[in-house]
Structure 1
Amino acid sequence: MKQVIVARADVGMGEGKLAAQVAHASLTAYEHATEQAKREWKQGGQKKVVVKGSSERELHELQEAAKAQGLPTGLVRDAGHTQLEPGTVTALAIGPAGDDAVDRITADLPLY
């Protein structure tokens, strides 16, 4: 079981902003997971991998692919209080779900 968080590399987030957006995405996707997936993921150490996304469009396409496979997702739009314009899509989490299921969608993305 794992979760992959795709963070946009094209919007120029600082390190702290990036960390916050990844955390928001992770929690949102977790909240959409089944109770069984939540339990298995927690028991397995809550594995997370952060990868780079190149655009808002890419995050939307990945989310659609994940949803088509029945995987939980969490897409984050920034509130715009600090570095980014309100509504900027910053991150997408996929999972927790089986490694193979998540990898089918995210395996080609570079690590952050």
Structure 2
Amino acid sequence: MKRWRRVKRMASMHDAPTMALVVRQDLALTTGKIAAQCAHAAVDVVRAARRSRLLERWRAGGARKIVLGVDDLAAMTALHASVPKGCYAALVTDAGRTEIPAGTVTVLGIMGPRRAMDTLLRHLEAL
């Protein structure tokens, strides 16, 4: 039996944690590249949150994910610095094999309580 299935139901799905995948818009990445980089970010955030109650609640609550855009690296860095305590975050750095140079930061993945995430990300637009 998987451990996350033993989590008690939350009062509402609106209380479930959220994973946000924040993509740099200045890089003009192709759709496929965005998908691959978001997948890396999602895996990295789940790894960072492993064995946490938050991850169990996220899985039990439907594993809500949103994809948002941010203007550039400076905005992404500022967002990463402002991730609140109790959330998990991971920056994805590209290997440089296809569209962009090695070492380019492409996506920020964040997982946290929905209310904290809504407050943190309310200024960003969905892709």
1:8-87, aligned counterparts within 5 Å? 8-33=24-49, 35-66=52-83, 68-87=84-103
For 1:43, the aligned partner's letter is A
Deviation at 1:69, TM superposition (A): 2.7
Between the aligned residues of both structures, percent identity stands at 31
CA deviation string 1:25-64 (max 9, x = no partner): 1111121125211111011111000000111111111111
Match of 2:5 in 1: none
Deviation at 1:90, TM superposition (A): 0.4
Separation of aligned partners in 2, 1:71 and 1:39: 13
What TM-score does the superposition give when structure 2 sets the normalisation length?
0.82
What is the root-mean-square deviation in Å for CA atoms of aligned residues?
Answer: 1.1
- Tell me how many residue pairs correspond in the alignment: 110
CA deviation string 1:58-107 (max 9, x = no partner): 111111100x4331001001000000010111000110x21111112111
Match of 1:109 in 2: 124
Which segments of structure 1 move beyond 6 Å, counting only runs of 4 or more? Answer: none
What TM-score does the superposition give when structure 1 sets the normalisation length?
0.92
Instruction: Provide structure 2 residue ranges, at least 5 long, that are not aligned to the other structure.
Output: 1-16
For 1:101, the aligned partner's letter is A
Structure number with the bigger relative contact order (C-alpha 8 A, sep ≥ 6) is 1
Instruction: Provide structure 1 residue ranges, at least 5 long, that are not aligned to the other structure.
Output: none
Larger Rg: 2
